Structure 1
Protein backbone atom coordinates (compact mmCIF):
# COMPACT_ATOMS: atom_id res chain seq x y z
CA UNK A 1 0.00 0.00 0.00
CA UNK A 2 1.29 3.48 -0.78
CA UNK A 3 -0.14 6.53 0.94
CA UNK A 4 0.88 10.01 -0.13
CA UNK A 5 0.04 13.41 1.26
CA UNK A 6 1.35 16.36 3.18
CA UNK A 7 2.83 15.91 6.63
CA UNK A 8 0.21 15.69 9.36
CA UNK A 9 -2.57 14.49 7.05
CA UNK A 10 -2.90 11.18 8.93
CA UNK A 11 -1.15 8.77 6.55
CA UNK A 12 0.64 6.85 9.30
CA UNK A 13 -2.46 6.67 11.48
CA UNK A 14 -4.52 5.36 8.54
CA UNK A 15 -1.87 2.80 7.57
CA UNK A 16 -1.55 1.56 11.16
CA UNK A 17 -5.32 1.23 11.51
CA UNK A 18 -5.63 -0.68 8.23
CA UNK A 19 -2.71 -2.95 9.12
CA UNK A 20 -4.09 -3.66 12.58
CA UNK A 21 -7.54 -4.51 11.22
CA UNK A 22 -6.00 -6.84 8.66
CA UNK A 23 -3.73 -8.46 11.24
CA UNK A 24 -6.66 -9.02 13.61
CA UNK A 25 -8.80 -10.60 10.90
CA UNK A 26 -5.89 -12.82 9.77
CA UNK A 27 -5.01 -13.80 13.32
CA UNK A 28 -1.42 -12.57 13.15
CA UNK A 29 0.70 -9.89 14.73
CA UNK A 30 1.13 -6.68 12.78
CA UNK A 31 4.57 -5.25 12.04
CA UNK A 32 5.40 -1.56 11.85
CA UNK A 33 8.69 0.03 10.89
CA UNK A 34 8.95 3.78 11.40
CA UNK A 35 11.54 4.97 8.92
CA UNK A 36 11.15 8.72 9.18
CA UNK A 37 14.67 9.12 10.59
CA UNK A 38 16.37 7.30 7.68
CA UNK A 39 18.06 9.88 5.50
CA UNK A 40 20.23 7.57 3.38
CA UNK A 41 18.52 4.91 1.26
CA UNK A 42 21.54 2.62 1.66
CA UNK A 43 20.75 2.40 5.39
CA UNK A 44 17.11 1.47 4.83
CA UNK A 45 17.44 -2.35 5.01
CA UNK A 46 19.28 -2.28 8.37
CA UNK A 47 16.81 0.31 9.67
CA UNK A 48 13.91 -2.01 8.78
CA UNK A 49 15.61 -4.92 10.57
CA UNK A 50 16.02 -2.78 13.71
CA UNK A 51 12.53 -1.24 13.51
CA UNK A 52 10.91 -4.66 13.24
CA UNK A 53 12.88 -5.88 16.25
CA UNK A 54 14.45 -8.73 14.34
CA UNK A 55 17.43 -10.40 15.99
CA UNK A 56 20.88 -9.01 15.24
CA UNK A 57 21.79 -10.47 11.90
CA UNK A 58 24.83 -8.30 11.17
CA UNK A 59 26.52 -11.08 9.22
CA UNK A 60 23.57 -11.52 6.86
CA UNK A 61 22.20 -9.29 4.14
CA UNK A 62 19.49 -7.25 5.91
CA UNK A 63 17.14 -7.56 2.96
CA UNK A 64 17.32 -11.36 3.26
CA UNK A 65 16.52 -11.10 6.99
CA UNK A 66 13.44 -8.96 6.31
CA UNK A 67 12.22 -11.16 3.46
CA UNK A 68 12.61 -14.28 5.61
CA UNK A 69 10.73 -12.74 8.53
CA UNK A 70 7.89 -11.47 6.35
CA UNK A 71 7.65 -14.78 4.48
CA UNK A 72 7.27 -16.64 7.79
CA UNK A 73 4.59 -14.16 8.87
CA UNK A 74 2.69 -14.52 5.59
CA UNK A 75 2.86 -18.30 5.65
CA UNK A 76 1.29 -18.30 9.12
CA UNK A 77 -1.33 -15.79 7.98
CA UNK A 78 -2.51 -17.47 4.78
CA UNK A 79 -6.23 -17.50 5.56
CA UNK A 80 -7.08 -19.77 2.68
CA UNK A 81 -5.14 -22.55 4.38
CA UNK A 82 -7.38 -22.69 7.43
CA UNK A 83 -10.60 -20.85 6.60
CA UNK A 84 -13.39 -21.43 4.09
CA UNK A 85 -12.64 -19.73 0.78
CA UNK A 86 -14.91 -18.76 -2.07
CA UNK A 87 -13.27 -17.49 -5.24
CA UNK A 88 -15.46 -15.16 -7.31
CA UNK A 89 -14.44 -15.80 -10.90
CA UNK A 90 -15.29 -12.97 -13.29
CA UNK A 91 -15.99 -14.64 -16.64
CA UNK A 92 -15.61 -11.52 -18.81
CA UNK A 93 -12.37 -10.34 -17.21
CA UNK A 94 -9.93 -9.01 -19.84
CA UNK A 95 -7.21 -8.24 -17.26
CA UNK A 96 -7.14 -11.59 -15.44
CA UNK A 97 -8.47 -14.16 -17.93
CA UNK A 98 -10.71 -16.93 -16.56
CA UNK A 99 -8.08 -19.70 -17.10
CA UNK A 100 -5.68 -17.79 -14.84
CA UNK A 101 -8.42 -17.25 -12.28
CA UNK A 102 -9.26 -20.97 -12.41
CA UNK A 103 -5.63 -21.78 -11.62
CA UNK A 104 -5.64 -19.36 -8.66
CA UNK A 105 -8.98 -20.67 -7.42
CA UNK A 106 -7.75 -24.26 -7.59
CA UNK A 107 -4.83 -23.40 -5.29
CA UNK A 108 -7.26 -22.42 -2.53
CA UNK A 109 -9.25 -25.64 -2.68
CA UNK A 110 -12.35 -23.55 -2.03
CA UNK A 111 -15.64 -23.03 -3.78
CA UNK A 112 -15.82 -21.11 -7.05
CA UNK A 113 -18.67 -18.78 -7.94
CA UNK A 114 -18.75 -17.63 -11.56
CA UNK A 115 -20.28 -14.30 -12.47
CA UNK A 116 -20.77 -12.77 -15.95
CA UNK A 117 -18.76 -9.61 -15.20
CA UNK A 118 -15.43 -8.07 -16.06
CA UNK A 119 -12.54 -7.20 -13.77
CA UNK A 120 -14.56 -4.74 -11.65
CA UNK A 121 -17.87 -6.33 -10.67
CA UNK A 122 -18.46 -3.66 -8.01
CA UNK A 123 -18.32 -1.02 -10.73
CA UNK A 124 -20.54 -2.92 -13.12
CA UNK A 125 -23.32 -3.93 -10.75
CA UNK A 126 -22.55 -2.85 -7.18
CA UNK A 127 -25.89 -3.87 -5.67
CA UNK A 128 -25.85 -7.38 -7.13
CA UNK A 129 -22.18 -7.89 -6.27
CA UNK A 130 -22.66 -6.70 -2.69
CA UNK A 131 -25.60 -9.10 -2.37
CA UNK A 132 -23.44 -11.95 -3.69
CA UNK A 133 -20.69 -11.16 -1.17
CA UNK A 134 -23.26 -11.03 1.63
CA UNK A 135 -24.57 -14.47 0.63
CA UNK A 136 -21.02 -15.88 0.49
CA UNK A 137 -20.12 -14.38 3.88
CA UNK A 138 -23.35 -15.41 5.61
CA UNK A 139 -22.82 -18.08 8.25
CA UNK A 140 -24.05 -21.48 7.23
CA UNK A 141 -26.48 -23.20 9.51
CA UNK A 142 -25.11 -26.16 11.38
CA UNK A 143 -27.38 -29.04 12.39
CA UNK A 144 -27.47 -29.52 16.14
Structure 2
Protein backbone atom coordinates (compact mmCIF):
# COMPACT_ATOMS: atom_id res chain seq x y z
CA UNK A 1 0.00 0.00 0.00
CA UNK A 2 1.58 3.30 -1.06
CA UNK A 3 2.07 6.19 1.35
CA UNK A 4 -0.69 8.39 -0.13
CA UNK A 5 -3.26 5.59 0.12
CA UNK A 6 -2.27 4.89 3.73
CA UNK A 7 -2.75 8.58 4.62
CA UNK A 8 -6.19 8.67 2.99
CA UNK A 9 -7.26 5.52 4.81
CA UNK A 10 -6.06 6.88 8.15
CA UNK A 11 -7.96 10.14 7.61
CA UNK A 12 -11.11 8.26 6.72
CA UNK A 13 -10.87 6.09 9.82
CA UNK A 14 -10.32 9.14 12.02
CA UNK A 15 -13.32 10.92 10.52
CA UNK A 16 -15.39 7.76 10.82
CA UNK A 17 -14.68 7.73 14.54
CA UNK A 18 -16.09 11.22 14.90
CA UNK A 19 -19.10 10.96 12.64
CA UNK A 20 -21.59 8.22 11.74
CA UNK A 21 -20.80 6.76 8.33
CA UNK A 22 -24.14 8.00 6.98
CA UNK A 23 -23.15 11.56 7.84
CA UNK A 24 -20.28 11.37 5.34
CA UNK A 25 -22.60 11.24 2.32
CA UNK A 26 -24.23 14.44 0.98
CA UNK A 27 -27.60 12.73 0.49
CA UNK A 28 -27.85 11.81 4.16
CA UNK A 29 -27.81 15.44 5.29
CA UNK A 30 -31.22 15.97 3.70
CA UNK A 31 -32.58 12.53 4.56
CA UNK A 32 -34.26 13.37 7.91
CA UNK A 33 -36.60 15.87 6.22
CA UNK A 34 -37.13 14.10 2.90
CA UNK A 35 -40.42 12.65 4.18
CA UNK A 36 -41.73 16.16 4.92
CA UNK A 37 -41.21 17.58 1.43
CA UNK A 38 -44.40 18.81 -0.22
CA UNK A 39 -46.49 18.47 2.94
CA UNK A 40 -48.52 21.27 4.51
CA UNK A 41 -49.59 21.89 8.07
CA UNK A 42 -52.85 23.76 8.57
CA UNK A 43 -53.19 25.15 12.09
CA UNK A 44 -56.64 25.94 13.48
CA UNK A 45 -56.97 28.07 16.62
CA UNK A 46 -59.47 27.59 19.41
CA UNK A 47 -61.91 29.79 21.29
CA UNK A 48 -60.67 33.00 22.92
CA UNK A 49 -57.75 33.07 20.46
CA UNK A 50 -56.70 33.81 16.88
CA UNK A 51 -54.12 32.53 14.41
CA UNK A 52 -51.28 34.23 16.26
CA UNK A 53 -51.59 31.63 19.01
CA UNK A 54 -49.40 29.44 16.78
CA UNK A 55 -46.65 32.02 16.30
CA UNK A 56 -44.06 30.06 18.32
CA UNK A 57 -44.81 26.76 16.57
CA UNK A 58 -44.84 28.03 12.97
CA UNK A 59 -41.10 28.77 12.62
CA UNK A 60 -40.22 25.39 14.15
CA UNK A 61 -42.33 23.61 11.53
CA UNK A 62 -41.04 25.75 8.68
CA UNK A 63 -37.46 24.99 9.73
CA UNK A 64 -38.18 21.35 8.88
CA UNK A 65 -39.35 22.28 5.38
CA UNK A 66 -43.08 22.08 6.03
CA UNK A 67 -45.43 24.60 4.45
CA UNK A 68 -47.52 26.15 7.24
CA UNK A 69 -50.75 28.15 7.20
CA UNK A 70 -52.78 29.32 10.21
CA UNK A 71 -56.54 29.65 9.73
CA UNK A 72 -58.31 32.75 11.01
CA UNK A 73 -61.62 31.54 12.40
CA UNK A 74 -64.68 33.71 12.88
CA UNK A 75 -65.64 31.75 16.03
CA UNK A 76 -69.28 32.23 14.96
CA UNK A 77 -70.26 28.61 14.35
CA UNK A 78 -68.88 25.19 13.57
CA UNK A 79 -70.04 25.49 9.96
CA UNK A 80 -68.34 28.89 9.50
CA UNK A 81 -65.05 27.76 11.02
CA UNK A 82 -65.07 24.47 9.13
CA UNK A 83 -65.70 26.40 5.91
CA UNK A 84 -62.77 28.74 6.64
CA UNK A 85 -60.58 25.71 7.27
CA UNK A 86 -61.76 24.03 4.05
CA UNK A 87 -60.77 27.12 2.06
CA UNK A 88 -57.24 26.92 3.42
CA UNK A 89 -57.02 23.17 2.80
CA UNK A 90 -58.10 23.70 -0.81
CA UNK A 91 -55.17 26.06 -1.37
CA UNK A 92 -52.61 23.38 -0.47
CA UNK A 93 -51.05 21.27 -3.21
CA UNK A 94 -49.85 18.27 -1.21
CA UNK A 95 -50.81 16.16 1.78
CA UNK A 96 -52.24 18.16 4.71
CA UNK A 97 -51.69 17.63 8.41
CA UNK A 98 -54.64 19.33 10.10
CA UNK A 99 -54.06 20.62 13.64
CA UNK A 100 -56.70 21.96 16.02
CA UNK A 101 -56.50 23.49 19.48
CA UNK A 102 -59.36 23.42 22.00
CA UNK A 103 -62.64 24.32 20.22
CA UNK A 104 -60.86 23.67 16.91
CA UNK A 105 -60.88 19.97 17.73
CA UNK A 106 -64.52 20.08 16.65
CA UNK A 107 -63.53 22.10 13.58
CA UNK A 108 -60.87 19.64 12.39
CA UNK A 109 -63.18 16.71 13.14
CA UNK A 110 -65.61 18.24 10.64
CA UNK A 111 -63.18 19.72 8.10
CA UNK A 112 -60.77 16.80 8.25
CA UNK A 113 -62.89 14.68 5.93
CA UNK A 114 -61.29 16.52 3.00
CA UNK A 115 -59.33 14.06 0.85
CA UNK A 116 -56.15 16.14 1.15
CA UNK A 117 -56.07 15.69 4.93
CA UNK A 118 -53.83 12.74 5.82
CA UNK A 119 -53.49 13.21 9.59
CA UNK A 120 -55.23 15.00 12.45
CA UNK A 121 -53.48 16.48 15.48
CA UNK A 122 -55.59 17.48 18.49
CA UNK A 123 -53.85 19.87 20.89
CA UNK A 124 -55.72 20.01 24.22
CA UNK A 125 -58.80 19.78 22.05
CA UNK A 126 -62.36 18.52 22.03
CA UNK A 127 -62.89 15.49 19.80
CA UNK A 128 -66.64 15.12 19.18
CA UNK A 129 -68.11 12.03 17.55
CA UNK A 130 -70.73 11.91 14.80
CA UNK A 131 -73.75 14.00 15.81
CA UNK A 132 -72.05 15.21 18.98
CA UNK A 133 -71.45 18.74 20.27
CA UNK A 134 -69.16 20.13 22.94
CA UNK A 135 -72.18 20.51 25.22
CA UNK A 136 -72.87 16.81 24.72
CA UNK A 137 -69.31 15.99 25.78
CA UNK A 138 -69.56 18.18 28.89
CA UNK A 139 -73.07 17.09 29.90
CA UNK A 140 -73.26 15.95 33.51
CA UNK A 141 -69.77 17.15 34.37
CA UNK A 142 -69.24 19.82 37.07
CA UNK A 143 -68.77 23.38 35.85
CA UNK A 144 -65.13 24.50 36.03
CA UNK A 145 -64.17 27.48 38.18
CA UNK A 146 -63.37 29.64 35.16
CA UNK A 147 -66.97 29.35 33.89
CA UNK A 148 -67.97 32.04 36.38
CA UNK A 149 -65.48 34.37 34.66
CA UNK A 150 -67.17 34.16 31.25
CA UNK A 151 -68.63 37.42 30.04
CA UNK A 152 -71.36 37.44 27.38
CA UNK A 153 -72.07 40.51 25.24
CA UNK A 154 -75.41 41.54 23.75
CA UNK A 155 -74.74 39.51 20.59
CA UNK A 156 -74.10 36.32 22.54
CA UNK A 157 -70.31 36.27 22.23
CA UNK A 158 -68.21 35.05 25.14
CA UNK A 159 -64.89 36.35 26.45
CA UNK A 160 -62.81 35.31 29.43
CA UNK A 161 -61.75 37.76 32.10
CA UNK A 162 -58.07 38.65 32.29
CA UNK A 163 -57.97 36.98 35.70
CA UNK A 164 -59.25 33.69 34.24
CA UNK A 165 -56.74 33.86 31.37
CA UNK A 166 -53.85 34.39 33.77
CA UNK A 167 -54.94 31.77 36.34
CA UNK A 168 -56.71 29.08 34.31
CA UNK A 169 -56.14 29.48 30.57
CA UNK A 170 -52.42 30.27 30.38
CA UNK A 171 -51.13 29.85 33.92
CA UNK A 172 -47.72 28.57 32.80
CA UNK A 173 -46.96 31.69 30.77
CA UNK A 174 -45.28 34.74 32.31
CA UNK A 175 -48.11 36.96 33.62
CA UNK A 176 -47.26 39.75 31.17
CA UNK A 177 -47.56 37.35 28.25
CA UNK A 178 -50.79 35.88 29.62
CA UNK A 179 -52.25 39.38 29.79
CA UNK A 180 -51.42 39.83 26.10
CA UNK A 181 -53.33 36.63 25.40
CA UNK A 182 -56.28 38.12 27.31
CA UNK A 183 -56.10 41.42 25.45
CA UNK A 184 -56.00 39.76 22.01
CA UNK A 185 -58.55 37.00 22.61
CA UNK A 186 -61.20 36.31 20.00
CA UNK A 187 -64.78 36.39 21.32
CA UNK A 188 -66.51 33.02 20.87
CA UNK A 189 -70.21 32.71 20.04
CA UNK A 190 -71.98 30.80 22.83
CA UNK A 191 -74.04 28.81 20.33
CA UNK A 192 -70.89 27.05 19.10
CA UNK A 193 -71.13 24.73 22.08
CA UNK A 194 -74.36 23.29 20.69
CA UNK A 195 -73.11 22.79 17.12
CA UNK A 196 -72.83 19.10 16.28
CA UNK A 197 -70.17 17.48 14.11
CA UNK A 198 -71.82 15.75 11.16
CA UNK A 199 -69.18 13.11 10.40
CA UNK A 200 -66.06 12.95 12.57
CA UNK A 201 -62.92 12.61 10.44
CA UNK A 202 -61.02 10.75 13.13
CA UNK A 203 -62.97 7.61 12.24
CA UNK A 204 -61.01 7.36 8.99
CA UNK A 205 -57.88 9.50 9.52
CA UNK A 206 -54.89 8.70 11.76
CA UNK A 207 -54.89 10.97 14.80
CA UNK A 208 -52.47 12.33 17.37
CA UNK A 209 -53.40 13.97 20.66
CA UNK A 210 -51.24 16.41 22.63
CA UNK A 211 -52.58 15.92 26.15
CA UNK A 212 -51.93 18.81 28.55
CA UNK A 213 -51.76 17.45 32.08
CA UNK A 214 -51.99 20.83 33.87
CA UNK A 215 -54.99 21.98 31.83
CA UNK A 216 -57.64 23.87 33.79
CA UNK A 217 -59.90 24.47 30.76
CA UNK A 218 -60.31 20.88 29.53
CA UNK A 219 -59.27 18.60 32.40
CA UNK A 220 -56.64 15.96 31.65
CA UNK A 221 -58.98 13.03 32.50
CA UNK A 222 -61.47 14.27 29.89
CA UNK A 223 -58.70 14.71 27.35
CA UNK A 224 -57.51 11.18 28.12
CA UNK A 225 -60.99 9.77 27.54
CA UNK A 226 -61.34 11.58 24.22
CA UNK A 227 -57.87 10.54 23.04
CA UNK A 228 -58.70 6.91 23.84
CA UNK A 229 -62.06 7.16 22.11
CA UNK A 230 -60.51 8.35 18.84
CA UNK A 231 -57.60 5.90 19.02
CA UNK A 232 -55.02 8.68 18.94
CA UNK A 233 -51.30 8.45 19.47
CA UNK A 234 -50.89 10.44 22.69
CA UNK A 235 -48.14 12.90 23.59
CA UNK A 236 -48.38 14.05 27.22
CA UNK A 237 -47.07 17.47 28.24
CA UNK A 238 -46.84 19.01 31.70
CA UNK A 239 -48.51 22.15 30.35
CA UNK A 240 -51.51 24.44 30.59
CA UNK A 241 -54.24 24.72 27.98
CA UNK A 242 -51.95 26.81 25.74
CA UNK A 243 -49.10 24.33 25.29
CA UNK A 244 -48.35 25.76 21.85
CA UNK A 245 -47.27 28.97 23.62
CA UNK A 246 -45.68 27.52 26.76
CA UNK A 247 -44.06 24.42 25.19
CA UNK A 248 -43.90 25.13 21.43
CA UNK A 249 -40.92 22.83 20.80
CA UNK A 250 -42.79 19.83 22.17
CA UNK A 251 -46.00 20.69 20.30
CA UNK A 252 -44.07 21.17 17.07
CA UNK A 253 -42.35 17.82 17.60
CA UNK A 254 -45.73 16.07 17.87
CA UNK A 255 -46.92 17.72 14.66
CA UNK A 256 -43.69 16.79 12.85
CA UNK A 257 -44.11 13.17 13.96
CA UNK A 258 -47.63 13.15 12.52
CA UNK A 259 -46.39 14.77 9.33
CA UNK A 260 -43.67 12.15 8.90
CA UNK A 261 -46.22 9.36 9.31
CA UNK A 262 -48.77 10.94 6.96
CA UNK A 263 -49.06 9.21 3.59
Give the TM-score of the pair, scaled to structure 1: 0.48
Higher relative contact order (CA 8 A, sep 6+): 2
Structure with the bigger percentage of strand: 2
Larger Rg: 2
Give the TM-score of the pair, scaled to structure 2: 0.28
